[in-house]
Structure 1
Amino acid sequence: MELQAVAREPDAFQRGLTAAEIEAICRRAFGATAERAVELGFGAYNSVYRLEVAGRSEPVVLRVAPEESAQFGSEFRLMRNEYASLPWLAVIAPLLPRVLAVDWSHEVVDRDWMIQTCLPGIPAPEHLGNYPRSGRTTFFRRLGAIARTVHDVRGTHFGRVDGPPYTSWSAVVIASLTQIADDLERAGLDAADVRKAATLAEEGRATLDEIRDPRLLTGDLWTVNCLLDAEAPEPSISGVLDFDRTEFGDPAADWTIRMAQAKQDEREAFWTSYGDLDRSPAATWRAGIYEARHLAAIRLERHRLANPAAVGDSHEAMQNVLAELRR
């Protein structure tokens, strides 16, 4: 089998598979051998390969989770959460890859893995810049419509789709901040400001619990997780990927909403299809708590990606958010 792997530092978080491991996975999934495996460089959590398998006319995508011993508590078994989310994501099924095989047994390799169909298209970060800025509003308008469709799905509990289930939104937010703080401290990083955010969330529990209707959150949907039609005259989303961080809660807490508000540019078209946000004082305060949670997760990710400068930058941003929350 021909294997093209991404070169990484020996201590990098992402760990590739050997040719023998990929062969074993293909035999388990298809009873066939892999002829070629190309590791894809995008993504910063799972290891991802495009496979050409004997007897199959179309390539498939293999996604392999990190070893469980390397996973943080706040990111534990994310692939299993994505798999549990698929019935809830049926509203956007035509845009999603189909799952062909999945294995949590750790019998073939000591990691969770999933094989999916290979969607046509080019990653949006690579192709969106080929269109004039004035034309990119089409992309963000479509992204807003996709987010709206997902956020309209009602869940049966608060928290991650695969659980544990919570009966209140405040309990999810407080537990999430606390778990990320625990992860940061186990990694040897300062998490005092994250714990302050958890304390403020506890003090504002009643405001968080004004959210009584658990809605489905995408968790991580933005340009990096979109594919574009290579031939379309204007940006056309042909697929969306990586829903491993889905949860039920307040749509305003979703990463997609955070990113849509990050700049005043062509992304403002997002709101023409998504709709208006609640701008009440209570919603504004909740948004501050959500930003603290995003910043805490970003700090953890930057540490995982061995970017100490960005880890340091997160402290100033967090202090600004905490100051606003205290006011």
Structure 2
Amino acid sequence: MSGRPGGAGVLHPLTDGTYNAAYQVSLGAGRMAVAKVAPPDDAAILTYERGLMAAEVEFYRRAGGHLPGPTVLGVDFSRRFIDRDLLIMSCLQGEPLTRVGRSLDRTERSRVRTALGAVVAGLGRVTGVKFGYDRPGDALSADTWSAALSLMVEAVLQDGDTYGVHLPAPRRSCRT
């Protein structure tokens, strides 16, 4: 996307993520958004990563009012605009802690850790319909946490087989 510097439509890649491609988008008049683009369909991904963006959108919907976070502005899972899943959300101001943590003094680090702890504690107020990956028709969710964990561990082990990962222990010892 192009546009005049600082104007609407200007994209700036965000490189601190680990899965989706993310871009900060200028909407003009100082307003910013984030566009997240899922990996291509032919990318080598793990079982739990399938449909991950839909799960993220559902999490934001459920977390609204419980946790600070972005607002979902729009989604496109139809591939109408681009050939991948697309999520547009509000842009939160700040810097990743991994980037600025060492520059904080002891008091600032303590304040950030306290705030982070409060957010993590708030995760317990965000509930889904099932345990595990709570997505419609998802094979990695179940009615109990132990059953969901078993499904997730089995999927990771199967992914390891698929991608030729050598485990340091016998596969049978990794089962839940």
| TM-score bucket (shorter structure) | 0.7 to 0.9
Residue of 167, 172, 175 corresponding to 1:196? 172
Structure 1 residues 6-40: Cα deviation after superposition (integer angstroms, max 9, x where no partner) = xxxxxxxxxxxxxxxxxxxxxxxxxxx96321111
> What is the CA RMSD across the aligned residues, in angstroms?
2.5
User: Partner residue of 1:89?
Assistant: 63
Contact 2:60/2:69, CA 8 A, preserved across alignment: no
Q: Aligned pair 1:75/2:49, yes or no?
A: yes
Structure 1 residues 205-260: Cα deviation after superposition (integer angstroms, max 9, x where no partner) = xxxxxxxxxxxxxxxxxxxxxxxxxxxxxxxxxxxxxxxxxxxxxxxxxxxxxxxx
Greater relative contact order: 1 or 2 (C-alpha under 8 angstroms, separation 6 or more)?
1
Q: Secondary structure at the match of 2:93?
A: coil
Change in Cα spacing, 1:101 to 1:194, as seen in structure 2 (3 Å) is: farther
Q: Please state which structure has a larger fraction of its residues in helix.
A: 1
User: Partner residue of 1:118?
Assistant: 91
Structure 1 residues 260-298: Cα deviation after superposition (integer angstroms, max 9, x where no partner) = xxxxxxxxxxxxxxxxxxxxxxxxxxxxxxxxxxxxxxx
The structural deviation recorded for 1:180 is 0.9
Letter in 1 for 2:114: R
Query: Which residues of structure 2 form unaligned runs of 5+?
Result: none
Residue of 123, 142, 146 corresponding to 1:170? 146
Q: Aligned pair 1:187/2:160, yes or no?
A: no
TM-score (norm 1): 0.47
Instruction: List structure 1 segments (4+ residues) > 6 angstroms apart after TM superposition.
Output: none
| Counterparts of residues 1-327 of structure 1 (less than 5 Å) | 1-2=1-2, 35-53=9-27, 57-70=30-43, 71-93=45-67, 95-163=68-136, 164=138, 165-191=141-167, 193=169, 195-199=171-175, 201=176
TM-score (norm 2): 0.82
Count, aligned residues: 169
Structure 1 residues 47-71: Cα deviation after superposition (integer angstroms, max 9, x where no partner) = 0111124x55412111101113313
Change in Cα spacing, 1:175 to 1:197, as seen in structure 2 (3 Å) is: farther
The structural deviation recorded for 1:134 is 4.6
Structure 1 residues 120-153: Cα deviation after superposition (integer angstroms, max 9, x where no partner) = 1122222222221354122112111111121144
Structure 1 residues 99-121: Cα deviation after superposition (integer angstroms, max 9, x where no partner) = 11110011222211111111111
Cα distance in 2 for residues equivalent to 1:60 and 1:134: 31
Cα distance in 2 for residues equivalent to 1:194 and 1:155: 34
Percentage identity across aligned positions?
Answer: 27
State which drifts further: 155-164 or 80-89: 155-164
Letter in 2 for 1:38: H
Query: Which residues of structure 1 form unaligned runs of 5+?
Result: 4-32, 202-327
Q: Secondary structure at the match of 2:147?
A: helix
